[in-house]
Amino acid sequence: MKFSNYFLPTLKNIPADAEIISHQLMIRSGMIKQSSAGIYSWLPLGLRVLKKIEQIVREEQNKAGAIEILMPTIQSADLWIKSGRYEEYGKEMLRIKDRSDREMLYGPTNEELITDIFQSYINSYKDLPKNLYHIQWKFRDEVRPRFGIMRGREFLMKDNYSFDLTKEDAKISYNNMFKAYIKTFLRMGLTPISLRADTGPIGGDLSHEFQILANTGESTLYYDKDLESLDPQNLNPEKLQSYYAAVDDHHNENQCPISKSQLKISKGIEVGHIFYFGTKYSEKLGGYVQNNKGNKIAVHMGSYGIGVSRLVGAIIEAFHDDKGIVWPTQVSPFQVSLINLMPENNKCLDASNKFYSQLINHKIEVLYDDREVSIGKKLSDNDLLGFPYQIIIGSKNLKDNLVEIKVRKENFIEKFNPEDAINFIKTQLNTII
Ligand code: ATP
Ligand code: MG
């Protein structure tokens, strides 16, 4: 993509209403535009990140055996009246009436709808277990939408729902998802910390929250430092759940079961939450199957959520410096910035155009900064955008047949001849999982 053809409105100044760094950087790098409180348009660059995160989430769900569907955003109130949550959900639920005065709502979550789909088609224990997910926009009329897309009113969530015959089987599904969650966050370059959580209004007796470490996070986490060095190939959910981890209001120094030297304290951001809630919804909404003795049994359910749009902000909170965003390669909107410092110089133009076609031929995602703006603006904009590699082309280096590569993470610059430059980037990108 050529910058001059793209739609990428960068801003130099920090927007006045953006309190936290990820919100500031997302506005400054032209990723989102607020349309009303807690509701945002995703501009091209932001959308690329959102899609990449969504895709990682999808791949890990599929690998774990969950099956993708798509449920609507608008739901009828009927099922919610049956489950008892229509009143209980209160003002967070956006309620709408259609032209025939029927009560509808914009879904804040989908336990009711999915149980209804399940009960319409599944009648026998032989069809269990089942695990269905979708990635869909939710609406919650939060009391205080804030921090940009981190606490929005409209936000993208991956939510899935497991159905099992017994509690024991449901725990297997739960642990399977637990593992998939850790893998998902590790693949994004994040450090996930799982914590035992309250089940809240969803009900049930088992729940974990997943936070990712970020210095600017809202919660303070106390946890076993071994949780920081997990091997994605070798994850044991039961063992992971036995490690100590707590948010500050649950942590008591005198009752902490691990030694001071093993305890770490860091800031975190919640990005996922999983629940086992037994037969709460299946009993109310007809989620019964026949067991092998012909008896009708209410299925044991779990629900599992990942804040896909919140992750965009959370990743920026975890990875930025004073110049801008420092994207982990796996979710970076582009892999390479190709920066032509002197578009008016024919040699620079030829060399840059050549690089551009080579990068495209190698299927490397490149944003070619061909704009006629000052060198200073070009360099600072590209640091702000924070793609992992920058190829910088200037006339002085070209005379020696050299270009510069900047590795954004280390802000480290090295000179290469053009061929080696492409090979260096290819090698670096191939090492990413
Ligand atoms: P919170 O305590 O942050 O309000 P929650 O317990 O209401 O979260 P869940 O209903 O479990 O959240 O939703 C699953 C995930 O969806 C959360 O872990 C979070 O990442 C994301 N999420 C929840 N509310 C919002 C929101 N208002 N804006 C963006 N993402 C959200
Ligand atoms: Mg909430």
pLDDT at 216: 85
Dump pLDDT digits (tens) for 350-394: 999 999 999 999 999 999 999 999 999 999 999 999 999 999 999
Mean pLDDT, the chain, as a whole number? 96
DSSP letter for 149, please.
G
pLDDT at 242: 94
Mutation choice for ligand 1 from 273, 303, 311, CB with most ligand atoms inside 8 A: 273
Q: How many CB atoms lie within 10 A of CB 242?
A: 9
pTM above 0.75, yes or no: yes
Helix or strand (DSSP H, E) at 302? strand 300-307
Q: How far is the CA of 140 from the centre of ligand 2 (A)?
A: 8
158 in contact with ligand 1, CB cutoff 6 A: no
Q: How far is CA 179 from the centre of its chain?
A: 16
273 in contact with ligand 1, CB cutoff 6 A: yes
pLDDT at 201: 61
C-alpha span between 27 and 33 (Å, rounded): 7
320 in contact with ligand 1, CB cutoff 6 A: no
pLDDT at 319: 98
State both tokens at 380: 């600072």
Mutation choice for ligand 1 from 270, 271, 311, 312, CB with most ligand atoms inside 8 A: 270
Mutation choice for ligand 1 from 157, 199, 271, CB with most ligand atoms inside 8 A: 157
Consecutive 10-residue averages of pLDDT for the chain (433 residues):
97 90 97 97 98 98 98 98 95 98 98 97 97 98 96 98 98 98 98 85 80 93 96 95 93 92 97 96 97 97 98 98 97 98 97 97 97 97 98 97 97 95 95 65
Domains and CATH numbers, the chain: 3-321 (3.30.930.10), 334-432 (3.40.50.800)
Dump pLDDT digits (tens) for 44-60: 999 999 999 999 999 99
Q: Whose CA is nearest to atom 14 of ligand 1?
A: 305
Question: What is the DSSP code string of 350-367?
Answer: HHHHHHHHHHHHTT--EE
**Residues contacting residue 400 through CB under 8 Å, at least 6 positions apart:** none
